[in-house]
Amino acid sequence: MPRVVPARSTQALRALRISLACVVCFVFLIPVLWMALTAFKPREAIVAVPPQIVFRPSLEGFVSLFTQRSTLTRMQMERYRQRTDLHWWDRIALERGLVIIGPSQYVGRLTNSLIIAGGSTALAVGLGVLSAYAFSRFRIKGEADLLFFILSTRMLPPVVVTIPIFLMYRRLNLFDTHLGMILLYTVFNLSLSVWLLKGFIDEIPREYEEAALVDGYTRFQAFRRIVLPQAVTGIATTVVFCLIFAWNEYAFALMLTSDRARTAPPSIPSVVGTAGREWAATAAGSLLFLIPVVIVAFALRRYLLRGITFGAIRR
Amino acid sequence: MIMPTLLLLIAFNIFPLLYSLYLSFTTYSAIANQAPVWVGLQNYRDILTSDQLWIYFRNTGRFVLLSVSLQTVIGFGLALLLRERFRGSGLITTLILIPMMLSPVVVGLFWKLMYDPNYGIFNYLLGYPPGRGPQWLASSELALWAVVIVDVWMWSPFVMLLCLAGLGAIPEELYEAAEIDRASTLYQFWRITLPQVAPLLLIAILFRTIEAFKTFDLVMGLTGGGPGDATELVAVNLYRIAFSGQWNTGRASALAYIVLMIIIGISNIYIRYLNRLREG
């Protein structure tokens, strides 16, 4: 929105505004940058006083994150040092007097996160598209009430519904299973998915489908060939929101999984070493965990705004 | 086409709600092998007369009030700042959005490191010498503020995003007319900008209030409710009663119902106010 006021004072004001925006942006990113730095710090640098910004990067955090280690006695260490078949990660552990005895659980937890977030997003968006299409195109009795009911399911604090779901899951053998978590996140994302997609599908003119129906397409063919391709941006937006939710969810995962299906968020806090918290490992775990979100969000940043406002604001 | 969606929602929402309503009138523990015993309003009476719980409710209230009002001011301020587009403003907007996309428990955990009085960067950036700054997480007065700061950092971007949408929708003619009338910038802000953004701002506040009331993961990562019970919010306490250690399912259900009523109440007041604002 260019305002036609080319006075000198507004020029200065504009420069001030831009630099202030840059400063604010930097301040907001400090914690994220600090996390990235910490992930590459050797242990001494993390607890250094005052905090160190320049240090020799180390992959110790990542090694601690991905492996289980055990302490060596002095004699064992001497013998271990002689060996020539050591990898660089073995050497990093050896510097701490530790030996790597196997992979950690983090890889498994990350895989669980991927399966559960991916599965639930696919289901939530798939079911969401169908429902949104129906809500958008057919006359449904009590449509407004139904839509409000769907949205209201998201208002509940997770802790409120977890107790009965916990009991239900134990009875149905869904406790600590991938399927159970996928279904649960699907339900929680459905409300968002239906609302978002309805907004997008409402915008696609009905005439296109009507023309297709006249040409002899069935309802479903018209939906698949005409509506779906046009709703792609809406679907992409919905996918991002559902993914972010399922990927970051903590409360349900904490209470409804124990080992087999546990996702990364409830297990990052438990990346604790023998000598107090291993901050580098925690930071490395958190960093790896947030990279996918940042990439997905960045790739689809143009749609974020419309998503959050349920398409209520047209630009 | 709507049936699968509705069936899932009913199975995972209506059933749990009715079931926990029933459980809230019973004494029951999810790990004991005993059937629920009907005790009527006993659980509710216990909760509403327990001094401890009032402390948790007060903590939650303070937390919600502080953090939502700060987020509103900062988020709105950011939106005003980023309102006019310039080279790189899109990038800056996106970067500021990163905090709200992170997992709250990870965020909490990470800020714990930043708050450390000795080697944390937070006090250092505030200009305190190492070890001499405030002990954010160890002091019962500051701990709640520590949680508020993190929550504000995480969610101001959300308010900003909604405000930006609202600002973008204001017709330019309004400002042009005001410019002709030689209205002051302040006057323009109060009479044009604020009223026009108000509906979306209120939606942002409503969302944030409901979410803040449910805050659980951030606190679990940051303080775990401590020190003492300085940051024990209702949702955190609910978890403790229901799962970790106590397994008092009946009582937890009653508390859950009370929380639910409060949230529904808040949403209704807001929505009514919002509708009036829209019509008026």
Which residues in chain B touch residue A148, judged by CB atoms under 8 angstroms apart?
none
- The reported pLDDT for the residue numbered A306 is 66
Say whether A69 sits in a helix, a strand or coil: strand
Q: Classify burial at A112, counting beta carbons within 10 Å of its beta carbon; exposed 0-12, middle 13-18, buried 19 or more.
A: buried
pLDDT at position A30 over 60: yes
d(CA A231, CA A137): 14
pLDDT at position B232 over 90: yes
A43 compared with B139, residue with greater pLDDT? B139
Does A150 sit within 8 Å of B110, measured CB to CB?
Answer: no
pLDDT at position A12 over 70: yes
pLDDT at position A269 over 80: no
Quickly list DSSP for A91-149: HHHHHTTEEEEEE-SHHHHHHHHHHHHHHHHHHHHHHHHHHHHHHHHS--TTHHHHHHH
Considering only A86-100, A103-117, B16-30, B246-260, which range has the smallest mean pLDDT? A86-100
A271 compared with A242, residue with greater pLDDT? A242
CA of A72 vs chain B CAs: smallest distance (Å): 29
pLDDT tens across B150-163, in order? 999 999 999 998 89
Partner B, chain A 183-212, Cβ-Cβ below 8 Å:
183-184, 186-187, 190-191, 194
* Alpha helices for chain B (secondary structure H): 3-9, 15-23, 42-49, 51-81, 89-96, 98-101, 104-115, 121-126, 142-168, 172-180, 185-188, 194-213, 217-222, 234-242, 249-279
Name the residue of chain A whose CA is nearest to B122's CA. Answer: A31
pLDDT tens across B89-127, in order? 888 888 898 898 888 988 998 898 899 888 889 998 998
- The reported pLDDT for the residue numbered A274 is 47
Length of chain A: 315
d(CA A158, CA A249): 10
pLDDT at position A291 over 80: yes
pLDDT tens across A271-283, in order? 554 456 788 888 8
pLDDT tens across B45-72, in order? 999 998 888 999 999 999 999 999 999 9
Per-residue pLDDT, averaged over A150-164, amounts to: 78
Contact of A212 with A226, CB cutoff 8 Å: yes
Q: Looking at the complex, does the CB of residue B8 fall below 8 Å from at least one CB of chain A? A: yes
Does A167 sit within 8 Å of B30, measured CB to CB?
Answer: yes
Partner B, chain A 235-264, Cβ-Cβ below 8 Å:
244, 247-248, 250-251, 254-255
pLDDT at position A305 over 70: no
Q: Looking at the complex, does the CB of residue B194 fall below 8 Å from at least one CB of chain A? A: no
- The reported pLDDT for the residue numbered B204 is 87
Partner B, chain A 108-167, Cβ-Cβ below 8 Å:
127-128, 130-131, 133-135, 140, 146, 149-150, 153, 155-167
- The reported pLDDT for the residue numbered A5 is 47
Q: Classify burial at A259, counting beta carbons within 10 Å of its beta carbon; exposed 0-12, middle 13-18, buried 19 or more.
A: exposed
Q: Looking at the complex, does the CB of residue B110 fall below 8 Å from at least one CB of chain A? A: yes
Going from the C-alpha of A127 to that of each of A117, A196, B91, the distances in angstroms are 15, 13, 33
Looking at the DSSP bridge assignments, the partners of residue B143 are none
- The reported pLDDT for the residue numbered B266 is 84
Query: What pTM was estimated for this model as a whole?
Result: 0.88
- Measured over the CA atoms of residue B165, residue B170, residue B176 and residue B178, the dihedral's sign is negative
ipTM score for this prediction: 0.86
DSSP H or E stretch at residue A68: strand A67-71
Q: What angle do CA B114, B120, B122 make, to 5 degrees?
A: 65
- The reported pLDDT for the residue numbered A11 is 82
Which amino acid does the sequence have at A4?
A: V
d(CA A281, CA A283): 5
- The reported pLDDT for the residue numbered B58 is 94
Quickly list DSSP for B113-170: HHH-TTT-HHHHHHTPPTTTS--TTTSTTHHHHHHHHHHHHHHHHHHHHHHHHHHHTS
- The reported pLDDT for the residue numbered A310 is 58
Does A250 sit within 8 Å of B216, measured CB to CB?
Answer: yes
Per-residue pLDDT, averaged over A167-193, amounts to: 93
- The reported pLDDT for the residue numbered A68 is 84
**Mean pLDDT of all residues belonging to chain B:** 89
